[in-house]
Structure 1
Amino acid sequence: MKQLISFIAAFTLGIAAFASDPAPYDESADAQAQVKQALARAKAENKQAMIVFGANWCGDCKMLDGEFKKPALKSVLDASYVIVKVDVGRFNKNLDVVKPYGEVIKKGIPSIVVATADNQLVYATNGGELADARKMGESGVLAFFQQLPAKTGRKS
């Protein structure tokens, strides 16, 4: 009985911690303005812009967002990219932001686009490369992003 009570208490605390985490995607944001600001910052910092398309209901999107905050991946990304996250809802929001980059969300989210500071497409996950981020695990996600500079013309 004590084990059951301990399990329920731990489970409840876990749920509360998860629920208190801020949503990674701002559902009320002006995505066009966010992308424009990210491109301006990328230009000022001599970086590329990384646009991450996802949604708060998406477990893989949440997992990827958590990985972005870990020191090993954060240092890789911060060196070359200005990151902006765009909420696509249930594939029905901010599609005007997605459209210039092609079919990037067609095979699932999260999906990323890397663009120059002048908004020229450099790379996109058109094949759903990150749509199973949870199955990739921490090491798989890190490996994907460690290899990304070679695909985007950036020095790692």
Structure 2
Amino acid sequence: MKQVLFAVSSALAVTACASVPAPATAPGPEARPYHVSDTASADVDAALARARQSGKRVLVVMGANWCSDSRALAGWLATDRFVELIKRKYEVVYVDIGMPRAGDRPNLAIARRFGVSELPGSPNVLVLTGDGVLVNPTTATSWRNAESRTGDAIYDELATLADLPV
């Protein structure tokens, strides 16, 4: 009886492993640009000033190095394809949001300044005009799945937000 039970459970285990789909794509790039800074608000102000002069948008990426989705998004933004888009359309600022679950929320005031009252996860992407108008109020906090998004999907969304009328 034990042998039959063992054989059945072994067969089920093999079947279960075989039925788990393989990842659709290989993992994307990663980067760790989020650093605790006393000047995060001033960095955003400087990017806004540059954007007013250049006519670009400001891309405020609020994340953390401990977060795999934040690292994945930053990794995509560091690739050649994204660097070209950013050079043409954006001023970028990476803002560390600490560890929200632990109550460590050092830069929540930056999000609130632009109308985002809570950061429910990480990362968050605020796209701003040079005058500080939030272009993406409905999607700013929807990036918690950045690690599972494709580079094409991220690129397309950021390209659209760069030219979206306000």
TM-score (norm 2): 0.70
Aligned to 1:72: 81
- Read off the aligned partner of 1:99 and give its amino acid letter: R
Contact 2:51–2:90 (CA under 8 A) maintained in structure 1: yes
Which residue number in structure 1 is paired with residue 109 of structure 2? Answer: 96
Q: How far apart, CA to CA, are the structure 2 residues paired with 1:22 and 1:48?
A: 22
Unaligned runs of 5+ in 2: 1-29
- Tell whether the 8 Å contact from 2:57 to 2:162 is kept in structure 1 after alignment: no
Q: Which residue of 2 aligns with 1:153?
A: 165
Percent of counterpart pairs with the same letter? 29
Task: State whether structure 2 residue 64 is matched by structure 1 residue 52.
Answer: no
Q: Which position in structure 1 is the counterpart of 2:144?
A: 131
Structure 1 portions without partners, runs of 5+: 1-20
> Match of 2:34, SS?
coil
Measure how far apart 1:29 and its partner are: 4.0
Q: Which is worse superposed, 58-67 or 101-110?
A: 101-110
Pairing of 1:25-40 with structure 2 (within 5 A) = 25-40=34-49
Distance 1:125 1:90, change over 3 A: farther
Q: Does the C-alpha gap of structure 1 residues 104 and 136 become closer, same or farther in structure 2, counting only changes over 3 Å? A: farther
Structure 1: distance between partners of 2:129 and 2:140: 21
| Contact residue 49 and residue 83 of structure 1 kept, 8 A | yes
2:39 alignment partner AA: D
In the alignment, the residues of structure 2 paired with residue 63 and residue 124 of structure 1 have an alpha-carbon distance, to the nearest angstrom, of: 22
**How many aligned residue pairs are there?**
134
The yes-or-no answer on 1:112 pairing with 2:125 is yes
Cα gap change, 1:100 to 1:26, in 2 (>3 Å): same
Q: CA deviation at 1:79?
A: 1.3
Compute the displacement of 1:52 (Å): 0.9
Of structures 1 and 2, the larger Rg is shown by 2
